[in-house]
Structure 1
Amino acid sequence: MGLTSRTLLYATVLIALGCVGLTVWVWPRLASRGPLPVLGRLGAIVVTQFAVLLACAVAVNGEFEFYGTWDELLGHVSTAPAHIAELGTGSGVYAQHTELVQPAGPQGLDRVKGLPVGPPAKVGRVESVRIIGRRTRAIDPAFVYLPPQYFQRQFHRQRFPVIVAISGYPGGIMNLASFLHVPQTAGQLERANRLQPTVIVMVRPTIAPPRDTECVDVPGGPQAETFFTKDLPEAVKAAYRVGHDPSAWGALGYSSGGSCALQLALRDPKVYTSAAALSADYKVSDDLTTGSLFGSGPLAARRAEGHDLIWRLHHLPVPRVSVLVASSRQGERDYGPTLRFLKAVRAPMTSARIILPRGSHHFTTWVREIGPAMEWMGQQLTFPQDTTPAPRPPRRTAQAAAPPKRR
């Protein structure tokens, strides 16, 4: 019974309802005076409250994926990369044999509607994996969307562009598939020839849940920026046929994920050359969910300045990247900062915008923006010209190469 499974949720809800009903039924019998009835009433209250809170905790965790597995909840998570067994035909994972991308359980993918069903060469495929950080030792759950062309014979050596889609905090990868409809939208756009065949890697912004790491390398703490700029690209390039040039890589996200996407493109333009951000912040700050992201001492303020994107555009060389930002005139608190960010953009950087008349910091708004954002990003990414090496023909042995002897 998985930590995020509906079976566990239904079981805890039934237990909570049973405890409430049992408390109502036995309460009259515990109404008398004396130590035992008092202890009985206290016990009934404590057990009922615990059962109700447990059901709420399971429901919230299943929605936002603070913890994906029991081992993660209990802290029994290995930090060292592990080799995987050779994949059979029934594994359902098309990644090459690698220690950095491991097949995972459904991770909620079995609850998502509208995913490709049928032959992968016709409809594509979404895989559930874990990405292992070789440098950071982080283990991050991910969904990987592979377009139909990835499986077609004429593309068997072709590499593909990559979009790294990042969820908001505290949401997990389920939100990208279930609420934002990233893989479903990609399939629709590709069938309409509005998006080139693209591999999409869906991840969450934090590598040390439940802490919000904001894609920052924390001094003495989680190295989130290193994971997204070194570990994740290395793992994906080793496991899938994707482009190796930065022009084939872009980052996209909503809320905190959108902030991460912009941070990655402006701070690491040699890894990501485009970014699309829906309802993003343009400055990373400490709060209760992040803890201290920049450490202490005289260097802390300088580190914080480096993650203030408007400050970077005013004081540092502007990178050659393309960005798209989305906000709403009414209902979004980031509208003013979005305009200031766009005003600070200058060559060689280019920008685009989606400004709705009204919206909110919610999926009802982001679903309207995700299609245009993905279509825009597809126009920024270069379809890789390089291909995978051709298989070498078998070498002829000396005996086979020698001409037959005449008798």
Structure 2
Amino acid sequence: MSFFALTSGTLLAAVAVLTAACFLWAILWVPNHPWTKLWAYVQQALAVLLCSVLAISLAFLAVNRVSLWYSNWHDLLGFLSKKPATQQQFGAAPAGAPQRAEAAAPSKKTPKAHFTQAQRNPLANAQLTGINPNASGGQWVNVVVPGQGEQGDATVRVWLPPSYLKNPDKAYPVIMAFAGVPGSPVGFEQPLHTGEDLAKAVSEGKIRDSIIVAPNVFPRDRDTECMDVEGTSIETWVTQKVVPWVKANLRAEGDPGAWATYGYSAGGWCANMFTIRHPELFRTTLSMSGYYSPTFREGEAPAGAEAYDLGAIASRTQPPVRIWNYSGTGDGKFRTSFDKFAPQVKAPTSLTSVEVAGSSHRWPVWEEAQMQGLEWLGKTVPAFSPASA
């Protein structure tokens, strides 16, 4: 990595030294070397401006070095955004991924008789508070699903599609959505507008109407990596509490082929992990800038974290799942994780890789990729196809 590379430590150190020198100059030299009155004001203004620019640049370089918003100067200046994305396939073809008997048949709708009164009439369900009966464009509601652990908050955001309140006997596929860290499920409302994008894709006949369930898997911005860590049992909570809660309270289809996971950044890891480790619950993943092995800080990984190498799991168990992976050539350690995972994928597992130039680790890129992922889901997975509605 060259000295002036955008993510280099040497550039960060150089800007830090310049920032410190600027503040020393502004504090110690400028007040003790006054010029004429007018030039004294100009000198002070220049000192404040230069120090502010350097301080902001230092903060940006430090955060970007960790978050990889931009991988290099070309990426930052927008040159790489003009390059077209490339697609690559690993393992089985997407349409042929679920080859086992239990995954081969299209998802079956839940029979009308199986819906409880609470499912058919969500306005009367005490588990679903805050529903606006007059909402015409779909809505997010907040629910609490106990069992996350003493350090958790057990909150879940649920998107009820526009047609949900009008069709009491209709079953819906489910998208389980995971935000990154720091962050929360509110990221799917703003800035991603996931519900609105889904409704738009439905109106254009690109995907079937679906429920979105976004559990808060990083309570208080604690990096759990969606695993069972001390004080917060996220994996157990999602698989043994949240999924059953959804099936009991919402008109969700029961077949795992009608359940997909979706996430960005650390949430992309969660989406990958839940589908690969729990194909009995989920059969499809949409992963944006995700990765394939946990990335705890040094000394914070719980016992058994090494068993979460998804490449090794996929190679050994060959789960009948589909994975749509959206990443950038400049995603650093996240891209390295994908490059290690991809060669280990074998049929019936299916991995579709969409690769963009530069970094994919920022909101505008995810906003654009989200619609692509939803369209892929509707085109590839029978349960999410508009024809299955």
TM-score tier, shorter chain, comes to 0.5 to 0.7
1:126–1:143 contact (8 Å) kept in structure 2 = no
State the secondary structure of the residue aligned to 1:358: coil
**Alpha-carbon distance in 2 for matches of 1:209, 1:129:** 16
Query: Radius of gyration: which is bigger?
Result: 1
State the secondary structure of the residue aligned to 1:355: strand
Residue matched to 1:151: 165
Residue matched to 2:322: 322
Q: Which runs of 5 or more residues in structure 1 are unaligned?
A: 1-92, 106-116, 296-302, 385-407
1:325–1:354 contact (8 Å) kept in structure 2 = yes
**Alpha-carbon distance in 2 for matches of 1:156, 1:144:** 17
Residue matched to 2:339: 339
For residues 96-138 of structure 1, what are the alpha-carbon distances to aligned partners after superposition, in whole Å with 9 as ceiling and x for unaligned? Answer: 625xx45369xxxxxxxxxxx9954xx4421321231357575
User: CA 1:118–1:184 in 2, change beyond 3 Å: closer, same or farther?
Assistant: farther
Residue matched to 2:192: 180
Match 2:300 to one of 269, 292, 313: 292
Residue matched to 2:361: 361
Deviation at 1:253, TM superposition (A): 0.2
Residue matched to 2:30: none
**Alpha-carbon distance in 2 for matches of 1:174, 1:144:** 10
**Alpha-carbon distance in 2 for matches of 1:135, 1:362:** 29
**Alpha-carbon distance in 1 for matches of 2:297, 2:333:** 17
Residue matched to 2:256: 246
1:216–1:293 contact (8 Å) kept in structure 2 = no
User: CA 1:304–1:331 in 2, change beyond 3 Å: closer, same or farther?
Assistant: closer
Percentage of identical aligned residues:
25
Which structure ranks higher in relative contact order (CA pairs < 8 Å, sequence separation ≥ 6)? Answer: 2
State the secondary structure of the residue aligned to 2:237: helix
Residue matched to 2:371: 371
Deviation at 1:348, TM superposition (A): 1.1
Aligned pairs, number: 263
User: CA 1:230–1:241 in 2, change beyond 3 Å: closer, same or farther?
Assistant: same
Deviation at 1:356, TM superposition (A): 1.1
**Alpha-carbon distance in 2 for matches of 1:242, 1:350:** 25
1:162–1:242 contact (8 Å) kept in structure 2 = yes
**Alpha-carbon distance in 2 for matches of 1:265, 1:178:** 25
Residue matched to 2:220: 209
2:277–2:313 contact (8 Å) kept in structure 1 = no
State the secondary structure of the residue aligned to 1:330: coil
2:225–2:296 contact (8 Å) kept in structure 1 = no
User: CA 1:163–1:284 in 2, change beyond 3 Å: closer, same or farther?
Assistant: same
**Alpha-carbon distance in 1 for matches of 2:382, 2:239:** 17
User: CA 1:376–1:95 in 2, change beyond 3 Å: closer, same or farther?
Assistant: farther
Deviation at 1:374, TM superposition (A): 1.6
For residues 121-166 of structure 1, what are the alpha-carbon distances to aligned partners after superposition, in whole Å with 9 as ceiling and x for unaligned? Answer: xx442132123135757543332222223233xx421210000111
Deviation at 1:354, TM superposition (A): 1.5
- Aligned pairs for 1:56-75 within 5 A: none
Residue matched to 1:189: 201
Deviation at 1:241, TM superposition (A): 0.7
1:129–1:141 contact (8 Å) kept in structure 2 = yes
Residue matched to 2:129: 103
Match 2:140 to one of 104, 111, 127: 127
**Alpha-carbon distance in 1 for matches of 2:176, 2:297:** 26
Query: Which 4+ residue blocks in structure 1 deviate beyond 6 angstroms?
Result: none
State the secondary structure of the residue aligned to 1:226: helix
1:225 pairs with 2:235: yes
For residues 153-184 of structure 1, what are the alpha-carbon distances to aligned partners after superposition, in whole Å with 9 as ceiling and x for unaligned? Answer: xx421210000111101101221111112111
Deviation at 1:330, TM superposition (A): 3.3
2:259–2:284 contact (8 Å) kept in structure 1 = yes
Residue identity opposite 1:308 in structure 2: D
User: CA 1:275–1:383 in 2, change beyond 3 Å: closer, same or farther?
Assistant: closer
Residue identity opposite 1:294 in structure 2: P
**Alpha-carbon distance in 2 for matches of 1:172, 1:127:** 14
Residue matched to 2:383: 382
Residue identity opposite 1:275 in structure 2: T
**Alpha-carbon distance in 2 for matches of 1:278, 1:214:** 15
User: CA 1:245–1:274 in 2, change beyond 3 Å: closer, same or farther?
Assistant: same
1:332–1:361 contact (8 Å) kept in structure 2 = no
Residue matched to 1:18: none
User: CA 1:337–1:247 in 2, change beyond 3 Å: closer, same or farther?
Assistant: same
User: CA 1:238–1:337 in 2, change beyond 3 Å: closer, same or farther?
Assistant: same
Aligned-pair RMSD on alpha carbons?
Answer: 2.6
**Alpha-carbon distance in 2 for matches of 1:186, 1:127:** 13
**Alpha-carbon distance in 1 for matches of 2:285, 2:334:** 17
1:259–1:280 contact (8 Å) kept in structure 2 = yes
1:255 pairs with 2:268: no
2:262–2:271 contact (8 Å) kept in structure 1 = yes
Residue identity opposite 1:97 in structure 2: N
Deviation at 1:200, TM superposition (A): 0.8
1:318–1:349 contact (8 Å) kept in structure 2 = yes
Residue matched to 1:94: 122
Q: Which runs of 5 or more residues in structure 2 are unaligned?
A: 1-120
1:95–1:239 contact (8 Å) kept in structure 2 = no
